[in-house]
Chain A
Amino acid sequence: MEHQTMQPDSPVLECVYSRPGTLTETRFHYCPGCGHGVVHRVLMEAVEELGIQGETIGVAPVGCSVFAYNYLDIDMQEAAHGRASAVATAVKRLLPDRYVFSYQGDGDLAAIGTAETIHTVNRGENILMLFINNAIYGMTGGQMAPTTLIGMKTTTSPLGRTVEASGFPLKITEMVATLPGAYYVSRNSVHTPGAVRHLKKAILKSFQYQKEKRGTCFIEVVSNCPSGWKMTPLEANRWMAEHMFPLYPPGEIKVPK
């Protein structure tokens, strides 16, 4: 802060926004406007607020967030593509008093890892599963995901996804909500300050439920991929709200009775 430029009698400015101590100093490698960075930040703000940095173990996926462990200043494991929830299951079973979360993209969680996703939730594993749905495979260069919208162009649906060729977009969050092991299921986004605040509340609640050993908490974040979608960050967020929310509406999907 450039203190010397201030008037001697001006009030001392309070720092109201800074990097949470639970994030490392490493700069995010994410593309400008990408939702991953915001979700990382919100997640680690929650960890900081709860004071559980030393008791939290995260599992990173294969996808754009594969390097999450470079940013989140906690013990972490990097899982094989799709298997984060299986890895997290074992971590939690062996260390039941720790807070455990998995963090996965839509290809990871809803395509190659579908079986692990369903069965982890069905066992009611006491973990938080974070699911970043950007309707595309970001890391590998913008291929179609199970969540890709009908008509949406990707490198493997160059003329737009069709039902004939690829079936329907998979609403896996609604699917897991039907399982008795799912205690809390919520769909969020991070494109407005209000949405970010809601996500944080959902994460805080999930860690509380985990402490109470209630079962699986599953949070989807409808997110973007400006690079894969070939849009500016602003266009991407607008497009997301306009086209993804009708199919993937944000809100609480399953709340404790």
Chain B
Amino acid sequence: MSDLRLMKGNEALAEAAIRAGCRGYFGYPITPQSEILEYLALEGRSRGMIVLQAESEVASINMVYGGAGVGARVMTSSSSPGISLMQEGISYIAGAELPCLIVNVSRGGPGLGTIQPSQGDYFQAVKGGGHGDYRLLVLAPSSVQEMADFVFDAFDLADKYRSPVMILADGALGQMMERVSFREYDPAAHLVAKPWATTGKPVTRERNIITSLHIEPEKMEQINNRLQEKYRQMALHETRCEEFQTADAEYLIVAYGLAARIAQGAVEMARAQGIRAGLLRPVTLFPYPTDAIRALADRVRGVLVVEMNAGQMIEDVRLALEGRVPVRFYGRTGGIIPSPDEVLGALTKMVNEDVLHIEEVS
């Protein structure tokens, strides 16, 4: 029984949070994601959720820490500058191994930047962001439907790994309206036992302590080893990507989120012109679909990375390809969304360069 609705990405995400059994939302307004807090302030509260507009993103993320620590499904959302402000708290959450959802509906930077969409926070989301050796599991939706779907996945994954999970979207995905249907989901069937939570110590058990502090180096290293093992398990079991027309592709575009949708249009246009193009879209940005990209390295003659930034994910593509295939980049910054025509132009340029190169050597 899927109820089809027309919704903004931000609202779809908020509605999904209620349906996923999120019991606490803590956030601070910032464009282009304030609709999440606004939606929950009415809908969430009326359906039993604790919704608190905090005094800052710093307070928000530390409330998430406290709420996750009592074992509840909790979340926050913000946009780029607010996510920057949260980094210390996110590091504490990763260190204390607390499951929660952090949503970044990102905008252009650096600084106050622009409220227009951007993918400029890839490094921050994927490479750690805050201090210390930790990672977030990062999901990158590319439609309003996925803005909803990934909330359920995120809460399940957070609980499974006792780890913070981030949904990295952008302002366009947050603001645009599309059809969305909500999956059948009974939170009770998904909730896991959290015997570590600080809910008040009955006489039958030792006290529970939520902390990221470990003064003895051996203990701290043990924790680090455990975190790294967790990230290896995520890489083994949770890596997700989508491929479009890659079976016979000579030229591959790698793009995620909104950029992937635009790139898909460019691939179709290229195919119409006889260029055998394909698209690989990472769905998880951490863990990264390194193997899937590497598997295509022997088959394709060139890779074009398309991002709404100055070139961040391209570093992970290059790492995956290990120099075996030429890699080109096309990106726009400043909150500008590249058009399929522009991407096609960049692709065609790469193809032409390749042809020249082949004629030269033959």
* Given A86-B59, A89-B63, A94-B24, A77:B200 Cβ within 8 A: no
A57 touching B52, Cβ below 8 Å? no
Give A contacts to B, CB under 8 Å: 53-57, 59, 66-67, 69, 73-80, 83, 86-91, 93-95, 98, 115-116, 118-119
A80 nearest CB across to chain B (Å)? 5
Give B contacts to A, CB under 8 Å: 23-24, 26, 50, 52, 54-56, 58-59, 62-67, 69-70, 72, 74, 88-89, 92, 96, 198-203, 207-213
A83 touching B58, Cβ below 8 Å? yes
A38 nearest CB across to chain B (Å)? 21
Closest 5 CB pairs of A and B: A90-B66, A87-B66, A75-B198, A83-B62, A78-B211
Q: Which residue of B lies closest to A116 (CB)?
A: B59
A76 touching B210, Cβ below 8 Å? yes
A90 touching B26, Cβ below 8 Å? yes
Q: For A76, A80, A94, A95, which residue has the most chain B Cβ atoms within 10 angstroms? A: A94
Complex: A119 Cα to B50 Cα, angstroms: 17
Complex: A144 Cα to B337 Cα, angstroms: 50
Complex: A14 Cα to B207 Cα, angstroms: 30
B59 touching A54, Cβ below 8 Å? no
On chain A, the residues within 8 Å of B202 by CB distance are 54
Complex: A205 Cα to B232 Cα, angstroms: 51
B56 touching A115, Cβ below 8 Å? yes
* Given A76-B198, A76-B210, A77-B69, A90:B89 Cβ within 8 A: no
A55 in complex: contacting residue of B23, B67, B89, B200, CB < 8 Å: B200
Interface of chain A, main secondary structure: helix
B207 nearest CB across to chain A (Å)? 5
A90 in complex: contacting residue of B63, B201, B203, CB < 8 Å: B63
Complex: A83 Cα to B63 Cα, angstroms: 9
On chain B, the residues within 8 Å of A93 by CB distance are 24, 50, 52, 67
On chain B, the residues within 8 Å of A94 by CB distance are 23-24, 50, 66-67, 70, 72, 74
On chain A, the residues within 8 Å of B213 by CB distance are 66-67, 78
A87 touching B69, Cβ below 8 Å? yes
B198 touching A90, Cβ below 8 Å? no
A87 in complex: contacting residue of B65, B199, B200, CB < 8 Å: B65
A56 touching B23, Cβ below 8 Å? no
Complex: A69 Cα to B74 Cα, angstroms: 24
A76 touching B209, Cβ below 8 Å? yes
B62 in complex: contacting residue of A54, A55, A76, A87, CB < 8 Å: A87
Q: For B23, B65, B66, B198, which residue has the most chain A Cβ atoms within 10 angstroms? A: B66
On chain B, the residues within 8 Å of A98 by CB distance are 199-200
B49 nearest CB across to chain A (Å)? 10
A80 touching B55, Cβ below 8 Å? no
Complex: A119 Cα to B58 Cα, angstroms: 12
A25 nearest CB across to chain B (Å)? 13
On chain A, the residues within 8 Å of B59 by CB distance are 83, 86, 115-116, 119
Q: Which residue of A lies closest to B208 (CB)?
A: A75
